Amino acid sequence: MKKVILTGDRPTGRLHIGHYVGSLRRRVELQNSGEFDNIYIMIADAQALTDNFENPGKVRSNILEVALDYLACGLDPEKVTLFIQSAVPELTEITFYYMNLVTLSRLQRNPTVKAEIQMRGFETSIPVGFVNYPISQASDITAFKATVVPVGEDQLPMIEQTREIVRKFNSIYGDVLVEPDVMLPSNSACCRLPGTDGKAKMSKSLGNCIYLSDEAEDIRKKVMSMYTDPDHIKVSDPGKLEGNTVFTYLDAFATDEHFAKYLPEYENLQALKDHYTRGGLGDVKVKKFLNNVLQETLGPIRERRKQYAENIEWVYEVLKKGSDEARKVAGATLDEMKAAMKINYFEDADFLKDFSNK
Ligand code: TRP
């Protein structure tokens, strides 16, 4: 069986370092591994509209921003297909047929949907499009017969729901669809990078994100004002690692090579952590190290991003070509599905024969 990846992001803002450690970095590795037959990366604008339908301008203005973030991280249009969800209407048609296979209560039990309903205050009146988005996400994945979906932990319920839909479809109509596997980040710090203020989630509205497009000085300021251990007041105090954002970021980003280069008096992160918990290590020193690590990682991304932004017509063509390509693939799956569902009247020579033989 072919090995196929599909994944994507909602274009509701520029991408930040949480996206980077949670998925972008991995995607580039997977792309370069040469192990996959096809890799599809989708800008999920239709899904973004499910909770931003009153604000289409926001979605529109972030399409190219997200595309730039992708390219800046090293996703290569020669190796992956980058496309826009709404430019592949076949996905909507597939969604429509899947809607028969899922109950409303199952959707409302989806833990991610449940949390988002609460967060958005949708409890009393949930837009149908919003509760439906796990089904639409199942279409995104299955239209490309993806075998692997690399995502953050918060997307696990979506993949589970997709697998259920695949099993149900195949058991009713015959084996057409492929059950995908999830691929989570390997390092737990990467699963959910907190905001710079220590809050659980990075969010634009909280102003606690470091963006891939941030200038060096912005990164430095954000790092130097990061949340650490509030009880670590004097340098000599023993410090706590748990909930200490600076150390969580180091878990996600720092390598032994970074230590050799910027902080050679420590062999590795464990040695730094030991000193911190013992006492005698100040926050400023740790933050300066983290700043060096982040500057080294993000500098080249920011510079590449600027170069691509200067060639924005080329980026536009990449998305257009990718979306055309994605349509072909999703269309072929949709044709197979319709044949299995026996609703392919005009492609099916037996359709009239069945009538005459009645
Ligand atoms: N739900 C994903 C997110 O919020 C975006 C997304 C849409 C997606 N369709 C997908 C991810 C299909 C993986 C596969 O980030």
184 CA distance to ligand 1 middle (Å): 13
Per-residue pLDDT band for 192 (boundaries 50, 70, 90) equals: confident
Cα–Cα distance for residue pair 43/25, rounded to 1 Å: 17
Q: Ligand 1, residue 146: give the atom nearest the CA.
A: 14
Contact indicator for 337, 173 with CB cutoff of 8 Å: yes
Per-residue pLDDT band for 270 (boundaries 50, 70, 90) equals: very high
155 CA distance to ligand 1 middle (Å): 7
Helix (H, G, I), strand (E, B) or coil at 141: helix
Predicted local confidence at residue 199, as pLDDT: 85
For a mutational test of ligand 1's pocket, the pick from 4, 6, 7, 80, i.e. the residue with the most ligand atoms closer than 8 A to its C-beta, is 7
284 CA distance to ligand 1 middle (Å): 37
Instruction: Give bridge partners of residue 234 from the DSSP assignment.
Output: none
347 CA distance to ligand 1 middle (Å): 33
Per-residue pLDDT band for 259 (boundaries 50, 70, 90) equals: very high
339 CA distance to ligand 1 middle (Å): 27
Question: Ligand 1 pocket by C-beta < 6 Å: which residues?
Answer: 6-10, 44, 47, 137, 140-141, 149, 151, 155
| Size of the chain in residues | 358
Lowest mean pLDDT across 99-103, 124-128, 173-177: 124-128
Predicted local confidence at residue 200, as pLDDT: 77
7 CA distance to ligand 1 middle (Å): 6
- Which tokens hold the place of 203? 């969010």
For a mutational test of ligand 1's pocket, the pick from 47, 81, 85, i.e. the residue with the most ligand atoms closer than 8 A to its C-beta, is 47
pTM of the predicted model, to two decimals? 0.94
Q: Ligand 1, residue 152: give the atom nearest the CA.
A: 15
- Which tokens hold the place of 300? 């080249």
- Which tokens hold the place of 115? 């949390």
Tell me the pLDDT tens digit for each residue of 90-114.
999 999 999 999 999 999 999 999 9
DSSP 195: P
Instruction: Give bridge partners of residue 81 from the DSSP assignment.
Output: 40
* Ligand 1 atom 3, closest CA: 9
Which CATH superfamily is 216-308 part of? Tyrosyl-Transfer RNA Synthetase (1.10.240.10)
Contact indicator for 202, 195 with CB cutoff of 8 Å: yes
Residue 331 makes CB contacts below 8 A (sequence gap 6+) with 90
CATH number at 4-192+312-356: 3.40.50.620
* Ligand 1 atom 8, closest CA: 8
CA angle 159/160/165 to nearest 5° reads 95
Q: Compute the chain's Rg from CA coordinates.
A: 23
283 CA distance to ligand 1 middle (Å): 36
Contact indicator for 28, 71 with CB cutoff of 8 Å: no
For a mutational test of ligand 1's pocket, the pick from 42, 52, 91, i.e. the residue with the most ligand atoms closer than 8 A to its C-beta, is 42
Contact indicator for 135, 89 with CB cutoff of 8 Å: no
Could you tell me where in the chain the CATH 3.40.50.620 domains are found?
Answer: 4-192+312-356
Q: Ligand 1, residue 158: give the atom nearest the CA.
A: 1
CA angle 78/82/84 to nearest 5° reads 155
- Which tokens hold the place of 331? 């269309």
6 CA distance to ligand 1 middle (Å): 9
For a mutational test of ligand 1's pocket, the pick from 40, 69, 119, 158, i.e. the residue with the most ligand atoms closer than 8 A to its C-beta, is 158
Predicted local confidence at residue 189, as pLDDT: 67
Could you tell me where in the chain the CATH 1.10.240.10 domains are found?
Answer: 216-308
Per-residue pLDDT band for 16 (boundaries 50, 70, 90) equals: very high
Predicted local confidence at residue 116, as pLDDT: 87
